[in-house]
Amino acid sequence: MKLEVVFLGTSSAVPTRVRSLPSLAIRREGQVVLMDCGEGAQGRFVRMGLGLNREVLVLITHLHGDHVNGLLGLLQTMSMSQRVRTLTMVAPRDLLGWLEVTMKVMHIGLPFEVRFVPVRAGVVYRGKDFRVRAARASHSVEAWSFRFEELPRPGVFDRERALSLGVPEGKKWSSLQHGRSVTVKGVRVRPDQVLGPRRPGRSVGYSGDTRPTRSLARFFAGVDLLVFESTFASRDSDRALERSHSTAAEAAALARDAGAKMLALTHFSARYKRPDALVREARRIFPETVAAHDGLVLEVPPADQ
């Protein structure tokens, strides 16, 4: 099963010719987890083939316009695409009031339900085989970071062991692989008799806008991919501190302290034509660093590969 992180917008507050406002999506077996929704995100959502009628979870880190102004347009486009499936949204509580007032003024009705969940620390969403946790970020307004986590997967199925226990290939194998016991000629066979050790799920962390903090380093501990804002280069660290953002070097230090496997820098200030210098600064601290760009797709491989 593929797990891909699709970068829809990688600029900060101001779009550039090559970078749109902040937004990214996790794509996984027909499911989409959208994190932030900057202006114009709906167009990039469609161009990247994310699917307007799929199961969609929307996570909003904070209520600055560059992270939410594309949300209304995305909902309208979903409506015009005859979406009927419920959409779940996790965001700061005040976003619901903004949506309700704006939709009323503009006479917008949706043919599908929006299930709104006010964000809080801890688990904010549970799917069939994944969950999302939230932790407070350190920004100029109420802000949150998110961690997407797959649940542990069953161990590798031992075909020879199953056959030796008399389990014929077919539906009973499938039941065992999904954690259900089966009965063969009156004898009960348990999944743990034919499955290896459980395999850890994959995880993706997303910072939103924030200063680096020790609590975030703990929150992102061991993630397979950490997507962290790197608005400024080290030479502009005073601006990062003043505006409650991070430098690329600070993002790298947090990824190192968290024990992340890979770091993707994003949310670049428009003052930098190219992110090369920021990447160099980060790689001196955390070598497994890449610079995100609009349209980039990063696959997160299973832990056992």
The answer to whether the CB of 24 falls within 8 A of the CB of 206 is: yes
Q: Shortest CA distance to 291 belongs to which of 14, 49, 44, 10?
A: 10
Q: 216 burial class (0-12, 13-18, 19+ CB within 10 angstroms)?
A: buried
Q: Shortest CA distance to 26 belongs to which of 303, 297, 290?
A: 297
| Catalytically annotated residue among 66, 209, 224, 294 | 66
Asked about 66 being catalytic, the answer comes back as yes
Q: Which residues are tagged catalytic? A: 66
